[in-house]
């Protein structure tokens, strides 16, 4: 990957000793949602095919799971290693912990280690933003409904308000306390946010993001208006789904890739089995969206995501290149003063 100044950053800034460390604050300082979206789009338009991305691997542990997500493209190779520990929530500890290791150049040197949970929390809503930016056609202030109250709920509020013209935000969740906490968080940032139930919020929504851990759909898809864009990010296993067959059957559907969606996305797998989705050939992929394809108007548009390794690689390399560019700028400024 080449920087905006034409430098081969992967070659120019390979460390000679230990890899550079990127904690949560540094990661967020170096890439925002729009930059993460652009990094993924550039990767796709440069020729990367997500159909050939490496699959996510899982290992069951005594207290949860360990996941690994490797990928390679251009100058970079990387992998994210995470642990998922549901019991940590009770102890008020992070459920998701991990690191991302980035390698670069012909020698495949380890150049960076990034906080894995932060990378996930940047990448996940950035993928949703990618879909929304390519699928939303309504102009003017939009009404956003977030279904769910976990970490990704707030991350999606921040990400989508940064790239879309959002006027009203509805929070729908099972726990009134968690809903109210999100409402207060949003209001403190100057957003127009209110607690709602699905029956009131969904019919007036332009964009719906479902980010729950539900095994069965947490809302009635019949409530979704025909012009709405629905992004479903919560499930990434065949037995779990957030969208019902009724909504799938009357919607155009976009996915990250045909391979990953028919392997990991419960909505797609179960929808194909039931006939709600007639054939996988009707699904539009992220690569096709980047190339200018879209979904038909006059019906809901669904973007189903599970998260893919190439997306982490694109965002991680953008963070690394951002740091390299700052280093180069600082070096040039010191040279100019001498």
Domain range summary for the chain, segments of one domain joined by +: 20-119+311-322, 125-308
Angle (CA) 322-78-105 rounded to 5° is: 70
Those residues with Cβ within 8 angstroms of residue 244's Cβ, 6 or more apart along the chain or in another chain: 217, 220, 221
In this prediction, residues 142-152 reach a mean pLDDT of 97
Question: Can you read off the two tokens belonging to residue 83?
Answer: 């642990």
Question: What values do phi and psi take at 110, rounded to 5?
Answer: -70, 115
Q: What is the pLDDT of residues 77-94, one digit of tens each?
A: 999 999 999 999 899 898
Per the model's pLDDT, the better-predicted residue between 235 and 182 turns out to be 182
Q: What is the pLDDT of residues 87-118, one digit of tens each?
A: 998 998 988 899 999 999 888 999 999 999 99
- The DSSP-derived string for 52-93 is GSPPPEEEE-SSSEEEEEEEEETTEEEEEEEEE-GGGGTTT-
Q: How many residues does the chain have?
A: 338
Q: Residue 37 above 90 pLDDT?
A: yes
pLDDT over 90 percentage in the chain: 86
In this prediction, residues 209-238 reach a mean pLDDT of 96
Q: Residue 308 above 50 pLDDT?
A: yes
pLDDT over 70 percentage in the chain: 92
What's the pLDDT score for residue 236?
Answer: 85
In this prediction, residues 127-151 reach a mean pLDDT of 97
Domains 20-119+311-322 and 125-308 share a fold: no
Q: Residue 13 above 70 pLDDT?
A: no
Q: Closest Cα partner for 117 from 97, 89, 91, 95? A: 97
Q: How far apart are CA 41 and CA 48, in angstroms?
A: 10
CATH hierarchy code of domain 125-308 = 3.40.50.720
pLDDT-derived band at 235, boundaries 50, 70, 90: confident
Question: Percent helix, strand and coil across the chain, each rounded to 5?
Answer: 45, 20, 35
Averaged pLDDT score across all residues of the chain: 93
In this prediction, residues 275-303 reach a mean pLDDT of 97
Sheet holding 142-147, edge to edge: 193-195, 166-172, 142-147, 207-210, 229-232, 301-304, 252-255, 284-285
Q: Residue 153 above 60 pLDDT?
A: yes
What's the pLDDT score for residue 10?
Answer: 46
Q: How far apart are CA 317 and CA 9, in angstroms?
A: 10
Those residues with Cβ within 8 angstroms of residue 252's Cβ, 6 or more apart along the chain or in another chain: 284, 295, 296, 299, 300, 301, 302
In this prediction, residues 220-246 reach a mean pLDDT of 96
Angle (CA) 164-188-224 rounded to 5° is: 45
Report pTM: 0.91
Q: Which CATH architecture has domain 20-119+311-322?
A: 2-Layer Sandwich (3.30)
Question: Can you read off the two tokens belonging to residue 186?
Answer: 């949003």
Q: Residue 203 above 80 pLDDT?
A: yes
Question: What values do phi and psi take at 296, rounded to 5?
Answer: -60, 150
Q: What is the pLDDT of residues 251-268, one digit of tens each?
A: 999 999 999 999 999 999
């Amino acid at each position: 990957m080449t920087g905006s100044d034409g430098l081969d950053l992967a070659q120019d800034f390979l460390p000679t000793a230990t890899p550079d460390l990127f904690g949560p604050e540094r990661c967020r300082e170096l890439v925002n949602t729009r930059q993460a979206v652009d990094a993924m789009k550039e990767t796709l338009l440069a020729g990367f095919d997500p159909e050939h991305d490496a699959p996510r691997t899982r290992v069951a542990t005594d207290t949860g799971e360990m996941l690994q997500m490797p990928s390679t493209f251009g100058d970079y190779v990387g992998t994210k290693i995470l642990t998922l520990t549901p019991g940590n929530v009770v102890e008020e500890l992070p459920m998701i912990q991990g690191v991302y290791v980035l390698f670069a150049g012909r020698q495949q040197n380890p150049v960076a280690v990034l906080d894995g949970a932060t990378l996930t929390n940047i990448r996940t809503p950035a993928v949703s933003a990618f879909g929304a930016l390519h699928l939303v056609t309504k102009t003017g202030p939009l009404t956003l409904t977030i279904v769910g109250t976990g970490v990704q709920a707030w991350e999606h509020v921040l990400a989508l308000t940064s790239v879309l013209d959002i006027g009203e935000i509805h929070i729908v969740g099972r726990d009134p306390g968690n809903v109210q906490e999100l409402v207060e968080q949003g209001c403190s940032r100057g957003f127009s946010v209110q607690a709602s139930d699905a029956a009131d919020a969904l019919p007036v929504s332009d964009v719906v993001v479902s980010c729950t851990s539900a095994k069965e759909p947490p809302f009635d898809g019949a409530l979704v208006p025909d012009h709405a864009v629905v992004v479903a990010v919560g499930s990434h296993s065949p037995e779990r789904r957030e969208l019902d067959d009724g909504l799938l059957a009357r919607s155009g559907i976009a996915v990250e890739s045909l391979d990953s969606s028919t392997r990991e996305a419960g909505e797609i797998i179960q929808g194909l089995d039931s006939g709600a989705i007639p054939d996988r050939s009707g699904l539009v992929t992220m690569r096709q969206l980047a190339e200018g394809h879209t979904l038909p108007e006059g019906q809901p548009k669904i973007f189903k995501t599970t998260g893919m390794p190439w997306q982490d690689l694109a965002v991680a390399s953008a963070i690394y290149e951002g740091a390299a560019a700052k280093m180069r700028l600082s070096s040039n400024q010191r040279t100019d003063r001498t």
